[in-house]
Structure 1
Amino acid sequence: MLSIGEFSKICGVSTKTLRYYAEIGLIHPDQINPENGYRYYSIRQLQKMLMINRLKAYYFSLEEIKDMLEWEEDQSEEKLCAALNRKRKEIQDKLNALEYTLNQLSIDIVNVKKGIPMMSYLDKIEVQLVETRSMNILYTRQMLCSDDYTLGYGRYISGLYEKIAADKLTLRGKPITIYHSPEYNPAGNDTEFALPVEEIVRGTRDLPGGLCAKSVAKGPYSELSSVYAKLREWVEQEGYELVDSPYEIYITDPNQAAAAEDMVTEVYFPVKKRRDLSCEETTGQL
């Protein structure tokens, strides 16, 4: 048997952490001396503790690790393998995003050395004024906090695809996200996920067509804020105003894009020509 101190030293985990792990049911001491409360761990528990450390290194939460240890005990290799594959994809996505950011940073360094302003790339973002057609969309609307957005596409769009398959509906376009909240709130934002379909059934609605300021974001979703800023600037400068919630159409499925820079997203701002209040006031005074 190993004392909690010896077990702590071998596994590289503090005794405080080991006590916390026991509290949440992650790993319990094999024995506790009833007289002095000293905790002891068996040699066979070293492997379990090393497994916990390994899964933590893969950025699994303690709750996830607890479940995964139960799967291993039940010899559920399928569940364990699926969880590992999901985590591998998450980490790969983060690596791709970091690689993209590193490349952008290198470009900025070169530009600054040449005397080119860092934000000059905004001038290269093109904006078009387009007429869109109305669409019948199958939708789900959720209040999402900032941490939920990364799961939004996979969870809610996938659910819509499943409903289309189950109800034998006809898909007519790419996935859409519509942002209804008037301002950003980290605690929760009114977000609608949608897929254009042919059939008008329960759970569908009309997404009106009309005049829109449109731009295209090429690259990871982190670039979208620049496109939104450019669109808002264009709307103001060209004498338009927003009349409805902005929305995005995902031309490239993020799950199928070979690299972050291959992703293409269209952004639409429904607009109308702004009334010139100063002219109206002047006319009314004549």
Structure 2
Amino acid sequence: MLSIGEFSKICEVSTKTLRYYDEIGLINPDEINPENGYRYYSIRQLKKMLFINRLKSYHFSLEEIKAILELEEDESEEKLCSALNLKRREIQKKLNAFEYTLKQMSNDILNLEKGIPIMSYLYDIEVQLVETQPMNILYIRRMMSSDDYAAGYGKYFNRIYKKIATEKLTLLGTPMTIYHSSEYNPAGNDTEFAIPIEEPVKGTRDLPGGLCAKSVLKGSYPELTSVYTKLREWIENEGYELVKSPYEVYVTDPNQVTVPEELITEVYFPVKKK
């Protein structure tokens, strides 16, 4: 048996952390002396602790690790493989985002060295006035916090696609998001996830057509704030005003692109002349 100190030293995990792991049921000491409360771990638990550390290094949360440890033996390898593949995709997306940021920073540095203002890229964002056609959309409307968005997009669009497939509905366009809140609130924003279809079934509504200021983003989603800024500036300068909620149309599937530059998003601001 190993004392908690010896176990801590071998695995390079503090005794405070080991006590916390015991509290949440991640890894419990094999033996606790009833007289003095000293904790002891068995040699075989070293392997388990190394496994926990390995999953932590792969950015699994403690909750995710605990769920993996609780898997039945006959399903553990298959589900572990699935979990690792999913986590690898998550990390790859983050790497792509960092690479995109580094490229953006490098371009900004080059421009500044040439005397070009850092925000001059806004001049390259084009805005056009278009007339959109009415659409029948299958939708889900929810209050979404800023923390919910990443998972929410996949969750609700997948639910809509499942209904389309189950009921054999006719797809007429790509996914879109309509933002109904009048201001940004990290705690919750009125968000509508929708996909245009042909059939007017339960769960659909009409999205009216009309005059829109439109811009297209080719790049990472965080850049959408720049597009929104340009659109609002254009609307003000051209004597228009916003009349309905703005919406985004996702021309490309983020799961099918390899680099952020391949993402194409159309942004529409319904407007009228003042």
| Structure 1 length-normalised TM | 0.94
* RMSD after superposition: 0.9
How far off its partner does 1:149 sit? 1.1
- Structure 1 CA distance, aligned partners of 2:32 and 2:74? 26
Q: Which residue of 2 aligns with 1:247?
A: 247
| Equivalent-residue separation in structure 2 for 1:16 and 1:205 (angstroms) | 55
Specify the code of the residue in structure 2 equivalent to 1:22.
D
Aligned twin of 1:86: 86
Give the 3 Å change call, closer, same or farther, for CA 162–36 of structure 1 in structure 2: same
Alignment of 1:96-115 (within 5 A): 96-115=96-115
In structure 2, the residue matched to 1:8 is: 8
The reply on whether 1:17 has 2:17 as its aligned counterpart is yes
Quote the residue 2:262 is aligned against: 262
Q: Does 1:183 align with 2:203?
A: no
Answer whether contact 1:71 1:77 (CA < 8 A) is retained: no
Aligned-pair CA distance for 1:21: 0.6
Match of 1:126 in 2: 126
Contact 1:72 1:80 in 2 (8 A): no
For residues 201-251 of structure 1, give each alpha carbon's deviation from its aligned partner in whole angstroms, at most 9, with x where no partner exists.
Answer: 100001111010000000110111110110011111111111111100000
Say which SS state the counterpart of residue 265 (structure 1) adopts: strand
Q: Determine if contact 1:181/1:189 at 8 Å carries over to the other structure.
A: yes
**Secondary structure of the equivalent of 1:146?**
coil
Decide which moves more: 70-79 or 43-52.
70-79
Rounded Cα–Cα distance in structure 1 between residues aligned with 2:144 and 2:60: 22
- Give the partner amino acid of 2:119: M
CA distance in 2 between counterparts of 1:19 and 1:267 reads 51
Name 1:196's counterpart in structure 2.
Answer: 196
Q: Where does residue 55 of structure 2 map in the other structure?
A: 55
Deviation at 1:72, TM superposition (A): 6.4
Matched letter for residue 17 of structure 1: T
What's the CA shift string for 1:96-119, capped at 9, x where partnerless?
000010001000100000000000
Letter in 1 for 2:131: E
* Whole-Å separation in 2 of the counterparts to 1:67 and 1:74: 15
| Deviation of the 1:70 alpha carbon | 1.5
Contact 2:33 2:39 in 1 (8 A): yes
Q: What SS does structure 1 have at the residue aligned with 2:244?
A: coil
CA distance in 1: counterparts of 2:132 and 2:75, whole angstroms:
54
Ranges in structure 1 where 5+ consecutive residues have no aligned partner: 275-286
- 1:17-65 CA-partner distances (Å, limit 9, x unpaired): 1111111111100000011100000011111111111111111111111
For residues 175 and 242 of structure 1, what CA distance do their matches in structure 2 show?
A: 22
User: TM (normalized to structure 2)?
Assistant: 0.98
SS of residue paired to 2:70:
helix
Give the letter aligned to residue 257 of structure 2: A
Residue matched to 1:145: 145
CA distance in 2, matches of 1:176, 1:78: 35
Question: How many residues are matched?
Answer: 274
Q: CA deviation at 1:73?
A: 4.2
